[in-house]
Amino acid sequence: MSLAQAFSEPEWALLSGALRLKHAVDRDTRSLPARALLDDEVCEQLLAALGPIIGSPTQAITASLLAKRFSFLSTGACLYAMSVYDKGLILSLDNSVIEYAHDDGLWTSSMSLDDVTPVGYEPGTREAWREVIVGTLFRDLLQPLWETFNRITGISRR
């Protein structure tokens, strides 16, 4: 993999607007590094605090709603950048921040990344590049988070 050209102004406008991608330095204070959520105690504390805010009656429902919101945000930005702009975003446990902002009955969270530098590929290596981007997103980021939610609350891993 190699560094791709930076996102153009119109590209960044769409990613940071409709798809809610942002630099982690600009993240909402209601957030934590994705890796931190793998700690059962941290996860339980977050779910307990978030449940009343979103009006969730159980931790399982809270976990399901948070997991779906984060999955929506992460897949949207990552897959759109890859498919439309031919630029990769590394959504990993160490590069992603989970925002859980919820105001006036609506999710207001964004997809925050420590590093939003696009990753490109050398000629003839697009398939391998794509596998890295998609594998990092689903296998290395979303799967461990869903497994944690499953272990703590019993929600489905899928």
The pLDDT tens digits of the residues spanning 66-124 come to 999 999 999 999 999 999 999 999 999 999 999 999 999 999 999 999 999 999 999 99
Give the count of alpha carbons within 13 A of 20, CB side only. 19
Q: What is the chain's percent helix, strand, coil content, to nearest 5?
A: 55, 15, 30
The two tokens of residue 108 are: 């207001």
How do the domains of the chain map onto residue ranges?
A: 2-153
Q: Mean pLDDT across the stretch 20-42?
A: 98
Q: Which letter does DSSP use for residue 139 in this model?
A: I
The pLDDT of residue 5: 86
- Residue type (1 letter), 139: R
* Whole-number CA gyration radius for the chain: 16
CB neighbour list of residue 107: distance below 8 Å, 6 or more residues apart = 69, 101
> What is the tens place of the pLDDT at every residue in 127-153?
999 999 999 999 999 999 999 999 999
pLDDT of residue 157: 78
Question: Does the pLDDT at position 1 exceed 80?
Answer: no
